[in-house]
Structure 1
C-alpha cells in the first residue's frame, strides 16, 4: 500500500466510525429560501447596473453629438500677418 492509500483508508475509517450529524428537517427549506432570495437580489442588482450603464452610454452619446468635443474650438485671435 502506498502512503496515499493508507491516508485515504484512515480517513474513511474515521468518517465511517463517526455518528451521522443530526440535521434539522427544515434546514433544506430554509437554505432554499435564503438562496432564492440572494439569487433574486443579485439578479436585480445586475439588471440595475446594466440599466445604469446603458443610460450612461446614451447620455454620453447625446452630449458628444451636441458639443462635438473632437472639433478644435475656433480661434479667438487673428493669425499674425507675415506676407506684407
Structure 2
C-alpha cells in the first residue's frame, strides 16, 4: 500500500478544520435568484419559438405569394407597326 500523498493530506486537514459559517438568508437568496434565472430562460425560449414560427410563416407566405415577381401590367402596351 502506498503512503498518502501530500495533496490528500492537505484536503483531509482542510475538511477536519472549522467550517465557515453560512451567511443568514443565503438559501432564500439562492432560491430567488434561481427562480429569476428560470423565468429568464423560459422567456428566452418562448421568444426563440416565436421567432422560429414567424420565420416559418414568412417563408410560407413568400413561397405562396412570390413577391419577387412583378405584378401583371394593368394596361396593354400600345400597338406599334400596324
Deviations 1:29-66 (CA, angstroms, capped at 9, x unpaired): 00100110111011111111111111111111111111
Root-mean-square deviation (CA, aligned residues, Å) is 2.1
Determine the structure 1 residue equivalent to 2:20: 21
Q: What residue in structure 1 maps to residue 44 of structure 2?
A: 45
1:32 and 1:59 map into 2 onto residues whose CA distance is: 40
TM-score by length of 2: 0.68
Stretches of structure 2 lacking an aligned partner (at least 5 in a row) = 69-82
Give structure 1 regions of 4+ aligned residues with deviation exceeding 6 angstroms: none
Q: Can you give the 5+ residue segments of structure 1 that lack an aligned partner in the other structure?
A: 70-84
Instruction: Give the corresponding residue for 2:73.
Output: none
Q: TM-score, normalised by structure 1?
A: 0.66
| Structure having the larger proportion of residues in helix | 1
Aligned to 1:74: none
Shift of 1:68: 8.2
Number of matched pairs? 67
